[in-house]
């Protein structure tokens, strides 16, 4: 991925927020004599760490294809993203673009033993169920869950390198960035994308990802916030 200082998004707290909010990840391994192996899986932050270490699990047969633990991998976390039409700029000349937030987490996964693997399954369920009014627990079906758990391989990935990128119209004049945000928030726009609009507000105002909803921006504030 092209790395550009203007769009750098690898501060640990920002990466943690991205993992927390966008847990469906892509795991890529380069395996000798097999080429690239790609799998999709849920991941969560390791609750015992304050960095970007993740816990994940995938089918045992998938893990075998990756030869998990024997090779370095890249875990791709994709955040808010969407098409931006030049028609919303009212300025230019410009061409269409794609705004996005993404992180590539490099490292060698550490496969976990049966009991730790079951703990990862419990923690993963708890993470997603915490959003529900009456969270369901894996403990409810513990006997069955432990019966099928051996078909799953869980792992810990301690990053050796993180490349994060948030390309969110930082290079545009403040008034243009505001028009993009307004279009993404508009119920009338074909490419309405409130989540992407919120990500733009936070980045352009340097508003922490784990803070409350940022207030609306004005062009004066953007003059002071953007490089």
The pLDDT, as a whole number, for residue 225 is: 46
The pLDDT, as a whole number, for residue 186 is: 87
The pLDDT, as a whole number, for residue 212 is: 65
Residues 6+ apart with CB under 8 A from 42: 23, 24, 25, 56, 57, 124, 128
pLDDT string in tens for the chain (227-residue length): 999 999 999 999 999 999 999 999 999 999 999 999 999 999 999 999 999 999 999 999 999 999 999 999 999 999 999 999 999 998 778 899 999 999 999 999 999 999 999 999 999 999 999 999 999 999 999 999 999 999 999 999 999 999 999 999 999 999 999 999 999 998 888 999 999 999 999 998 877 787 666 656 554 555 444 43
- Cα 218 to Cα 227: distance, rounded to the nearest angstrom: 16
Phi/psi at 148 (nearest 5 deg)? -95, -10
Give the side-chain half-sphere CA count within 13 A for 194: 6
Q: What is the edge-to-edge ordering of all strands in the sheet holding 35-45?
A: 110-111, 152-157, 54-59, 35-45, 24-31, 73-84, 97-107, 161-167
Q: What are the residues facing 102 on neighbouring strands? A: 78, 165
C-alpha closest to that of 7 among 204, 176, 165: 165
């Amino acid at each position: 991925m092209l790395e550009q200082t203007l769009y750098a998004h690898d501060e640990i707290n920002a990466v943690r927020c991205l993992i927390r909010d966008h847990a469906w990840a892509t795991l890529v391994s380069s395996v000798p004599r097999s080429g690239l192996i790609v799998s999709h899986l849920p991941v969560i932050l390791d609750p015992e760490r304050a960095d970007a270490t993740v816990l994940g699990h995938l089918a045992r047969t998938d893990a075998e294809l990756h030869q998990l633990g024997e090779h370095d991998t890249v875990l791709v976390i994709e955040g808010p993203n969407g098409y931006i039409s030049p028609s919303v700029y009212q300025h230019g000349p410009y061409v269409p673009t794609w705004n996005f937030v993404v992180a590539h987490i490099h490292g060698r996964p550490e496969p976990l033993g049966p009991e730790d693997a079951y703990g990862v399954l419990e923690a993963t369920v708890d993470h997603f169920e915490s959003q529900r009014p009456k969270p369901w627990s894996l403990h409810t079906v513990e006997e069955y869950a432990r019966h099928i758990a051996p078909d799953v391989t869980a792992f810990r990935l301690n990053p050796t390198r993180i490349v994060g990128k948030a390309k969110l119209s930082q290079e545009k004049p403040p008034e243009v960035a505001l028009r993009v945000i307004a279009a993404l928030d508009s119920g009338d726009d074909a490419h309405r994308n409130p989540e992407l609009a919120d990500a733009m507000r936070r980045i352009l105002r340097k508003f922490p990802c784990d803070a409350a909803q940022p207030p609306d921006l004005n062009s004066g504030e953007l003059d002071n916030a953007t490089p």
